[in-house]
Amino acid sequence: MENTTATSMTPPSPLPYTNTLMHTKFLLVLLPVISSVLLLLGARRGKKWPAVLGRLPHRSLRALAASHGPVMLLRLGQVPAVVVSSADAAREVMQAQDHVFASRPSLTIPRRLLYGCTDIAFAPHGPYWRGARKMSVRHLLSPARVRACRAVREQEVAALVRRVAEHGAGVVRLSELLNGFAKDVAGRIVLGVRAAGDSGWRARVDALLEESNALLAAFHVGDYVPWLSWVSAVDGTDARVRRAFQRIDRILDEIVDAAAATGGEISPSSAVEEADGEAFIHVLLSLQQKDDEAPGTAEWRLTRDNVKALLEDLFGAGTEATIIVLEWAMAELLRNKEAMHKLQLEVRRQARTTSNHSNLIREQDLPGMEYLRAVIKETMRLHTPGPLLLPHKSMEATRLGGGRYDVPSGTTVIVNAWAIGRDPSAWESPEEFRPERFVGSAVDFRGRHFQLIPFGAGRRMCPGVNLAMAVVELALANLVARFDWALPDGEPVMDMEETPGCTSWKRAPLRAVATQHYC
């Protein structure tokens, strides 16, 4: 697809002159347009779609990039999309030209499930997105607010340790425990309730996440070939989305109503000067009340639907990243006994010096644990929570590839963070789990080093990185300090494959045997 003129060139493409379809939120299916219609109609009768790029598109896209380069053009029906697969190309998109690529493409299913994309993750660049992000950082995700929730994290980690200990010599279903732990933390910080003491809350949140996650990974033909949008009505996709939204909306209404009933005494001013431990939903409702009372003075409007969209973000991305990183970290440590031993030596040495009677690692004990942070970085390098970052959209015409390739306004850009984390030009022995590579290294995952971008970078970087990492560090330190871990008898080899979809969940649930260690 290259233009031979010196002044105008499109990025190289693996399928020249072929229209293709792809779900830009990680489920990619490259098919000719006519064939896709037949396949979609066939899928209604229970047939599976053949995925030319395989069940794990981030892997297939890395293989294509090896032949076609780190800046590669795909045509998604009528939508051009550029896939970037190197640190340098990602730096162009999310740093050098961050102002150009700071928006999101408009996708039908997120728009319908997220109240017109009035969350943070999918919201287009503009005043609403800026206001929502600023508000969330100020009242929940800033370093100061994260520190203010320390007691909640320490209490929930203590509860997690107790649940593991209750298994005795039996098999611990770690995936299940970590899932509950992350939701307990989110429930207390966001809603002010604890799932372990409210089975109804847990059931509602589980239903919400199951509905939204399944559909946000679904394919809507009209996003890429508008004149084929009728296919989603014929194959049942539109009806499925409509029914799911009704259920999600009902669940969120119940959550918001319950919070309003318990937090009615909160005044609008408390949204600015909240006390430590105030649930974020009460802050949101206070801001909404303030806007309702004085809409003319509001910098941006926060409606009830906006509150519900933001809650979807917090329960989705806010819990998924925590669970995924903890699960993969424990899996890698179980496979790499030397790394497990090194980490246990570090955290247990700290546990012996702690002054608390429970012998639990506290957050104040974490700063000196360099190997702990190295293990977490190495885990996210190999198992990026979202292998393909949420798609960016160019807001004006520009160039990429050091000025070699033209990128028209409105182009979708997909960053293959998984491929970048395993790039042999950036990492020695990139397929191996080696936490030592980060010991004494300044490389971090907070958007300054583009060879490691599990949370993205620039304006659209995930704002919840501070909160997620505070939870992950404390939980992982205590799990390896308080227990010796082994695979169950009869399971000498661990399945390390990820599931298809938006996020890199471990395909086989993690199970292990924990023996208490008394520091």
475-495: per-residue pLDDT in tens? 999 999 999 999 998 777 889
Residue 355 has pLDDT above 60, yes or no: no
**Per-residue pLDDT, 193:** 72
- Top mean-pLDDT range of 273-287, 431-445, 490-504: 431-445
Q: How far is CA 309 from CA 208, 212, 402, 430, in A?
A: 12, 11, 38, 38
88 in a domain, yes or no? yes
CA 496 to chain centre: 19
Confidence of residue 200 (pLDDT cuts 50, 70, 90): low
Predicted confidence (pLDDT) per residue in 155-176, tens digit = 999 999 999 999 988 899 999 9
Cβ(358)–Cβ(165) below 8 Å: no
Residue 23 lies in a domain: no
Q: Return the number of other C-beta atoms located less than 10 Å from residue 311's C-beta.
A: 24
Q: Is the separation of the CB atoms in 25 and 422 below 8 Å? A: no
pLDDT at residue 278 is higher than 80? no
51: pLDDT strictly greater than 70 = no
Residue 372 lies in a domain: yes
How would you class 45 by CB atoms within 10 Å of its CB: exposed for 0-12, middle for 13-18, buried for 19 or more?
A: exposed
pLDDT tens digits for range 69-94: 999 998 878 888 999 999 999 999 99
Domain count, the chain: 1
Instruction: Decide: 71 and 89 in contact? Cβ < 8 Å.
Output: yes
In a domain? residue 1: no
Domain membership of residue 92 (yes or no) is: yes
* Structural domain harbouring 103: 33-115+122-516
Packing angle of the helix pair 304-335, 199-216 (nearest 10 deg): 90
Cα separations (Å) of 304 from 225, 245, 257, 298? Answer: 33, 15, 10, 15
502 is in an annotated binding site: no
- pLDDT value at 27 more than 70: no
Query: In 3D, which of 332, 371, 344 has the Cα closest to residue 512?
Result: 332
pLDDT of amino acid 87: 98
User: Does the structure show a pLDDT above 50 at 497?
Assistant: yes
Q: Is the pLDDT of residue 199 over 70?
A: no
pLDDT at 356: 62
270 pLDDT higher than 80: no
* Mean pLDDT, rounded, for 185-199: 73
pLDDT score of 384 more than 50: yes
Selected residue with higher pLDDT from 358 and 181:
181
Contact 114, 439 (CB under 8 A): no
**What's residue 462's pLDDT?**
95
Q: What is the DSSP letter of 506?
A: B
Say how far apart CA 84 and CA 100 lie, in whole Å. 15
Q: How is the beta sheet containing 79-84 ordered, strand by strand?
A: 71-76, 79-84, 412-415, 392-393
- The CATH number linked to 152 is 1.10.630.10
The percent of residues above 70 in pLDDT, for the chain, comes to: 83
Q: Where are the alpha helices (DSSP H) in 298-423?
A: 304-335, 337-353, 370-382, 417-421
Look over the chain and give the mean of its residue pLDDT values, rounded to a whole number: 84
pLDDT of residue 293: 61
10 in any annotated domain: no
| DSSP letter string, 427-480 | SSSTTS--GGGGTT----SSSS-TT--TT--GGGS-TTHHHHHHHHHHHHHHHH
CA 132/CA 487 separation, integer angstroms: 44
> What integer pLDDT is reported at residue 50 of this predicted model?
34
Residue 4 included in any domain: no
* pLDDT exceeds 50 at position 400: yes
Q: Is the pLDDT of residue 6 over 50?
A: no
Percent of the chain with pLDDT over 90: 61
Q: Which pLDDT score, from 0 to 100, does residue 55 have? A: 77
CA dihedral sign of residues 310, 131, 146, 370: positive
CB atoms within 10 A of CB 493: 7
Within a domain: 5: no
Quickly state the pLDDT bin for 443 (edges 50, 70, 90).
very high
pTM (two decimals): 0.88
